[in-house]
Chain A
Amino acid sequence: MSTSVKGGGKRVEGNANLPSTLHASPSAYALLLVRLLIGGVLLYAGFAKALAPAAEFAAAMANYHLFPSSGLLPMAWIIPWIEIWTGLFLIAGLYTQAAAAVASGLFVSFLAVMASALWRHIDLASCGCFGAETFSPHTTFKIDIGLLLLSLLLTYCYRRTWPFTVDHKVD
């Protein structure tokens, strides 16, 4: 005999001490995968930029001709850390909905900047997205759209607590 628990998992009565993750539903596993994917991408992108000199990312942003030059270096310092922390929080499942919302915000910003560059036919030597890795603006645009949709899905689903998250363990 079993009862439903929040997050779509099933808890077997009489075995309340068993970790609830043992009874997680396929949806919970799917959401975990999506979190790992988005968190992994953000973590990789953030570390790639944080490990390189900030001037490098600042130069990549300068190519978009969108931001004032005085703001380039501060942005180049801050953005990689927002990516790293958002990625880590998503992977860990800590403040998951907030992290997913921040991730959505990041992808919306990246898409807007990229769309503006494509619209103005700017020749981007590097999109600045993943440090040393260079993707064409069109490829980056498609990747970002996919990631935005997935992070919006996470923001919606994590209105409540799901298994495989620190939120689930601690709340």
Chain B
Amino acid sequence: MHVMKLKKVHIAMLLVIIPVILVLVIKNYTAYGPLLATPTARQEGDSHAKVTIVEYSDFQCPMCARIQPFTKELLRTYQGKVRLYFKYYPLTMIHKNAMTAAHAAECAARQNKFWPYGEKLFERQKEWSPLLDATTHYMAIAKDVQLNESSFQACMADASVDLLIQSDSQEAQARGVNATPTLFVNDERLVGGVFESEGARTIERELRR
């Protein structure tokens, strides 16, 4: 009887240890996918910065909007040391306007006004998010940041812009991104609110390397 109980404990120990080893081995051999080039209009900060932050974001995601002031603050604090790259990752399954918002932001990027346009998109997120068609809001923001409206309208009708957004999304998926916002501080992956608590610490650590 005692031997049987011991046998049971041994099996239990095996069941506890085997998955731990399995996960460690898989994690060790899993590499992130490649990082593709980001248009200059969607980059901010010193081009020779030691630390790069790649942000995969969705304009309709509340947490993405929440971290924007924090990201700007980090760029100010670590001026010359950090460069930010913005990548589109619209969660179209749950955010019906995420794709069109990304499309509008890319149209602003083509007029070199991505950052002010994106900032306003995030600021007014609650106004345009619930709408069936947010085009009038996109146009209003375009006017606010002084975009060339006819070029912006032509760009909004250009389906090829969506391909670029999709390529960002595919890159994100290849890098194991499945939630927004996901930020890579060099190779360190931080997701959502964790960026607020760990972002500065991670940058400091990367700067010390």
Contact = CB atoms under 8 A, between A and B. Distances in A.
A33 B198 CA distance: 43
Given A50-B23, A125-B63, A132-B178, A170 B191 contact: no
A63 B12 CA distance: 35
Name the interface size band of chain B.
Answer: 35 or more
A30 B61 CA distance: 43
B4 to A, nearest CB: 5
A170 B4 contact: yes
Contacts of B4: 170-171
Contacts of A123: 62
B12 A95 contact: yes
Of the candidates A52, A131, A134, the one having the most CB atoms from chain B within 10 angstroms of its own CB is: A52
Contacts of A60: 179, 191-192
A55 B185 CA distance: 13
B27 A136 contact: no
Contacts of A171: 4, 8
Given A92-B15, A94-B8, A53 B191 contact: yes
Contact of A94 (B15, B26, B93, B94): B15
B8 A170 contact: yes
A103 interface: no
A101 interface: no
Name the interface size band of chain A.
Answer: 20 to 34
A89 B30 contact: no
Contacts of A44: none
Contacts of B11: 92, 94, 166, 170
A51 B30 CA distance: 9
Contacts of B91: 125, 134
A59 interface: yes
Of the candidates B93, B178, B198, the one having the most CB atoms from chain A within 10 angstroms of its own CB is: B178
B134 interface: no
Nearest to B22: A47
Interface string B7-37: 1100110011001100100110010000000
A34 interface: no
A89 B23 CA distance: 17
A150 interface: no
A62 interface: yes
Given A59-B63, A60-B179, A88 B194 contact: no
B19 A88 contact: yes
Contacts of B20: 81
A123 B98 CA distance: 14
B193 interface: yes
Interface string B47-72: 00000000000100111000000000
B203 to A, nearest CB: 15
B192 A69 contact: no
Given A55-B191, A59-B63, A59-B179, A69 B197 contact: yes
* 7 closest A-B pairs by CB: A59-B192, A59-B191, A132-B178, A62-B193, A55-B194, A56-B191, A88-B15
12 contacts: A51-B26, A51-B30, A52-B176, A55-B191, A58-B192, A59-B191, A60-B179, A72-B193, A89-B12, A95-B8, A125-B91, A131-B178
Interface of A: 47, 50-53, 55-56, 58-60, 62-63, 69, 72-73, 81, 84-85, 88-89, 92, 94-95, 123, 125-126, 131-132, 134, 136, 166-167, 170-171
